[in-house]
Structure 1
Amino acid sequence: MQFSVYQQSHIGGRKVNQDRMGYSFTRDALLLVLADGMGGHLRGEIAATIALQTISMLFRMQAKPYVRKPERFLEEALQQAHRDINDYAARHQLPDTPRTTVVACLVQHNYAIWAHCGDSRLYWLRRNQILARTRDHSHLEYLIEKGRATEAERNTHPDRNKLYNCLGASGTPKVELSRQASLEPGDVLLLCSDGLWGMLPDTEIVHRLSTSTLVQAIPDMVSMAAAIGGARADNTTALGIMWQGADVPGAATDNVISTQMLPEDGVSTTITAGQPAPSETDAFDEDEIEKAIAEIREAIEKSSQLLK
């Protein structure tokens, strides 16, 4: 596989960055994950961290070197992340369970499939057009579908931040899965938090990704969204890849990752234990988050047998 990738996050006007992002890949599979801890609930950054850790760890266990049942993997990985978040809350006797939105995408054999809970989005773009975009699990999206609100109200409607689906809630989350998408060289997959898409219209996102490289477009969009939000800007995070297709000897450049040199059981990842946020004002330091992750690893390893 060959692809270019770039990711960036901005704390905005908040004291804590509760967004988390990262990617992992083997010789034949690529996993992209982005989670947005919900600020209205205690320790949203912990929920987002657990989500990334769980999904990434299950990927490392299952991708040998690719995931044999991608739909089942995504469904079970997000459900396991939900259980791990609830287990963390129970062990620490928290008055409220941390919650997070999440979007995850698995790419292998020139196909992509994605899953999400909440309003963290995935965009699939080709030649200046959006081929697919995740549907927000929000009350506003429901109203728009029923014709009781308009697209123009997305940034002003009083119910725009009311979600009915996430990880960490008391009920079992509904994981929405896409169909398999056949990728072509030049296709772009963008994962982003609502801090980005809530400030930038889809037309601006398409324009930026169609006229600039990822290395230029993603930081430009993140900075623009943070600037528009001003002192009250939300955390703003984006992770994108441009698909190059199968490995072509000698075709890789400094900006393109080629996986052909990885051994069959090799895994490369940016999702490290703790996932410390870029702000020094986070409520929990890296040691505390690593301790929380260590507590769920045993449960993850046991549950991974269910995915085989």
Structure 2
Amino acid sequence: MPKGYRLTASTGIHKGDRDYQQDQVVLLRHARVSGCVLAVLADGMGGRSGGRKASDQVMMTARQLFERYAPETDDAVVALTQLVQEAHTVIRLTAVSSEEEPHSTVAAFLINPGGDCYWAHAGDSRIYHYRGNKLIKRTLDHSYVQALVDRGELTEEQANAHPQSNILLGCLGTENDPPVSTHFIPQLHAGDILMACSDGIWHYFTSDEIGSVLATLSAREATEFLIEKARSRGHGSGDNLSLVVVKLEPLGT
């Protein structure tokens, strides 16, 4: 039976108002299996080269694992969890051999040929799942302000403007093992949209605004628009920005 959709995708990255680019983002198509893709985003932290080293390790680990991944037999959740844990271990080893303290977030989603989708994240880089412009689900940050939201002490809006919104409770490269939150979507449909982004993007938008942009524009236009708009809303003090958008376009459009 035909799936009824085709994947269109785009990645976007910008230095923002920072001196160095420490974010990284990649969209990988499986070398052997059509319709299988892995999107990975990492927001590196820890000084000029430390953060870049950390996000480099996430990308390298992702490529190696995806190269070995067999969609028909392998467990996607195990693969994604392994990605987070292995990258964390390598970053820790990098820290031992250098003077820096490299840390990184990670947000990754994997779409199998059958249309089932899995995601994993650690830190405050996010993944959003929309159906049209309606938010179905998004990741919850491993952060101090998200913990306050969970306890009912802050609203989402207050959390976004909170002065300590950048304090993470877990990420890759710290002394403790990173928290890994996973999610499973049994079946994606035509009209579904997935986006992973760093806090340099999501900090400047409501979920409704993001949904409206993603539903209205093509994947490429949406990435360009969100970067441009986040840049202007940052008023000269914006973070590195990165995102990846995958749209399931109905066939015949």
TM-score when normalising by structure 2? 0.91
Larger Rg computed on CA atoms: 1
Residues 1:121 and 2:126 are matched in the alignment: yes
- Superposed counterparts of 1:180-219, under 5 Å: 180-219=185-224
8 A Cα contact 1:67 1:73, kept in partner: no
User: Deviations for 1:108-132, whole angstroms, at most 9, x for unmatched residues?
Assistant: 0201110000010000010220111
8 A Cα contact 1:13 1:230, kept in partner: no
User: Number of aligned pairs?
Assistant: 245
8 A Cα contact 1:103 1:114, kept in partner: yes
Partner of 1:6: 10
Give the Cα separation in 1 of the matches to 2:239 and 2:103.
Answer: 16
Q: CA distance change for structure 1 residues 13 and 67 in 2, over 3 Å: closer, same or farther?
A: farther
- Give the 3-state SS of the residue equivalent to 1:31 in structure 2: strand
Gaps of 5+ in 2: none
**Displacement after TM superposition at 1:42 (Å):** 5.9
**Displacement after TM superposition at 1:202 (Å):** 1.3
User: Deviations for 1:133-188, whole angstroms, at most 9, x for unmatched residues?
Assistant: 00011110010110111222123212211101100001111211112342001211
Residues 1:75 and 2:54 are matched in the alignment: no
User: Deviations for 1:13-46, whole angstroms, at most 9, x for unmatched residues?
Assistant: 1000111000112224211000001256861111
- Select which of 54, 59, 71 maps to 1:47: 54
Give the Cα separation in 2 of the matches to 1:5 and 1:67.
Answer: 26
Give the Cα separation in 2 of the matches to 1:99 and 1:66.
Answer: 33
User: Deviations for 1:73-129, whole angstroms, at most 9, x for unmatched residues?
Assistant: 111111000001111222x232x4300000011110201110000010000010220
Question: Any runs of at least 4 consecutive aligned residues in structure 1 with deviations exceeding 4 A, and if so which?
Answer: 39-42
Give the Cα separation in 1 of the matches to 2:50 and 2:101.
Answer: 8
Residues 1:227 and 2:232 are matched in the alignment: yes
- The structure with the largest strand share of the pair is 2
- Select which of 168, 171, 174 maps to 1:169: 174
- Give the 3-state SS of the residue equivalent to 2:80 in structure 1: helix
Residues 1:138 and 2:119 are matched in the alignment: no
Gaps of 5+ in 1: 254-308
Task: Provide the alpha-carbon RMSD of the alignment.
Answer: 1.9
User: Deviations for 1:178-200, whole angstroms, at most 9, x for unmatched residues?
Assistant: 12342001211001000010011
- Superposed counterparts of 1:268-279, under 5 Å: none
Give the Cα separation in 2 of the matches to 1:139 and 1:181.
Answer: 31
User: Deviations for 1:222-247, whole angstroms, at most 9, x for unmatched residues?
Assistant: 110011102211111110111248xx
Q: CA distance change for structure 1 residues 42 and 163 in 2, over 3 Å: closer, same or farther?
A: farther
- Give the 3-state SS of the residue equivalent to 2:59 in structure 1: helix
Q: CA distance change for structure 1 residues 216 and 131 in 2, over 3 Å: closer, same or farther?
A: same
- Select which of 241, 248, 253 maps to 1:243: 248
Give the Cα separation in 1 of the matches to 2:48 and 2:169.
Answer: 14
